[in-house]
Amino acid sequence: MIRKSMMICGVILVFVSVGCGYEKEPLPTLEPDHRAVLRAWLDDNGAPPEQYILSKFTDHDIVFLGEYHRIRHDVILVQNMIPILHRNGIFNLGLEFLRNVDQDEIDNLLSAETYDETLANSLFWNEWPFWGYKEYIDILRVAWRFNRDLPPDIRRFRIVGLNARMDWSHVWSNEDRASPELMSLVFPDGNPDEVMAGTIVHEILNKNEKALIYSGINHAYTKFKQPVLDPATNELVRHNSTRMGNRIYDKIADRCCTIFLHSPWPASTGYGDPDVYPADGIIDALFKDMSPGKRRIGFDVKNSPFGELNARTALWSHSKQDFRLKDFCDGWIYQMPLSLYRGVSVIPDWFNKENRLQAIAQIANADPAVKNTDRSVSDLMNIMASDTDFEWRFSRFQ
C-alpha cells in the first residue's frame, strides 16, 4: 500500500491508502539522432549537481530548488551545498519547512556553542507536526556544525525560515473548510506563498544578498504558471501565477531561476491518478543506459535541446498549447533512476502520548475518517513512514 497525497500550500491534505500492484511503466524509445544530441549537450554543458547549482549564482540572486518532497538524496544535496555556498559568498539558505516567525530562534540555534536538538525538532514541529524527518532537520545540524568550526571573525551561514504560520485545529469538517472565517484562522499570516515571497524580499533581496531557496516544486515556479483544472471535467480553469517563485520573478525577473529535482509529475488526467514520468519519459530513457558515474548531473533546460522536450502525459501539458520543458523550469538535476529513490528517515518516537492530540488537530484533511481523535501514536508514525516509502511508491518506474 502507498500513501497518496494531495498537496496545497506544501502540506498533505489527504491520508488515503491505495493499492499499487502496477507493472513497470515502459520508457519511450529514443531515436539514435535524438539521443546523440541530448548526450552531446550533457557532455559539453552538464556539471555535477553541486557545481551546477553554484554556477547559477553567477547571474542570479535567487535560485529556487524545487523538489517532490521526502526524497532522501535531494535533502542530502541541500545539506552538502551549505559549505559550498558559504565559500562562494552566498550566506543564505531559505527553507519552506520553517516559519519566518521563528527566525530569532533559528539564528540562536545556529550560533550556539552546543547544538540544541530539542529546539531544532520544535522548529520543524511548529511549522507542521507531520515533518519529523531526520534529514530535513539535520540541515540545521549541518549549518550549526559548519558555523561552529568557522574562525570567529568569519560571517556565519544563515538558514532563513520562509513559511507562514498554519493552525489546522480550527478545521474538523468540510463545512469548516468552506468557512472563510475559519480558514483565516488557519492561515493567520495570509497566503503562504505571499508570506514566503515577502520573507525573501525582506530577509535577502532588501539586504542585497543572494540565497538558495529550497521548497516543493509547486512553490518554486518563476515563469511557469501552474494550471488549475476543473476536477469534474479536467478542463483548464485558470493559471496560478501567485506562487512564491512567481512573485519573486515579478520583482526581479531573470535575476531568479528555477531548478527542478528529477521526480515524477502528476498525470494529465488529474492529481487523483498515478504520477507519470516527467518529460514523457525521455530523460529517464536517456539516462537508463548511461553509466552510474555519468548519471549524477545538473544541466540547463532553457536554451538547450532539453527545453524542446514535450510532456503530453503530464498535467502541466494543460498549461499551454505545445507545452515544452523550457516553459516549466530553467534547469534540471538528475541523480539516479526513479526505481532507486529512497525516502527520508522518520525520527523515532516523534509522536507520543503527550503530543498525539496536538498532532491530530493539525491534520488538514477534514474527513472524520481521517481526522479523528481515536488515532493512535503508532498510526501517526505509520502515516509519516508510509509517505517516505518510495521503494514502493515508485515501484512502477524504471
The pLDDT of residue 198 is 98
Of 18-27, 117-126, 302-311, 334-343, which range is least confident?
Answer: 18-27
Arithmetic mean of pLDDT over the chain: 93
Radius of gyration (Cα) for the chain, nearest Å? 21
Q: Would you place residue 5 in the very low, low, confident or very high pLDDT band (cuts 50, 70, 90)?
A: very low
Query: Does position 14 have pLDDT exceeding 80, yes or no?
Result: no
Mean pLDDT of 22-39: 93
Please determine, for residue 3, whether its predicted confidence score (pLDDT) is greater than 80: no
Read off the pLDDT of residues 239-263 as tens digits, 9 standing for 90 and up: 999 999 999 999 999 999 999 999 9
How large is the average pLDDT for residues 45-57? 98
H/E stretch holding 87:
helix 72-87
Does 107 score more than 50 pLDDT? yes
Reported pTM: 0.94
What is the structure's pLDDT at 22? 61
Of the candidates 245, 214, 219, 223, the one whose C-alpha atom is nearest the C-alpha of residue 323 is: 223
Beta bridge partners of 265: 276
Q: What is the arithmetic mean of pLDDT over 37-60? A: 97
Sort 374 into a burial class: Cβ within 10 Å, 0-12 / 13-18 / 19+.
exposed
| Whether the predicted pLDDT of 225 surpasses 80 | yes
Q: Which CATH architecture has domain 26-349?
A: 3-Layer(aba) Sandwich (3.40)
pLDDT of amino acid 292: 82
pLDDT value at 10 more than 50? no
Q: Which of 12-26, 31-45, 381-395 has the lowest mean pLDDT?
A: 12-26
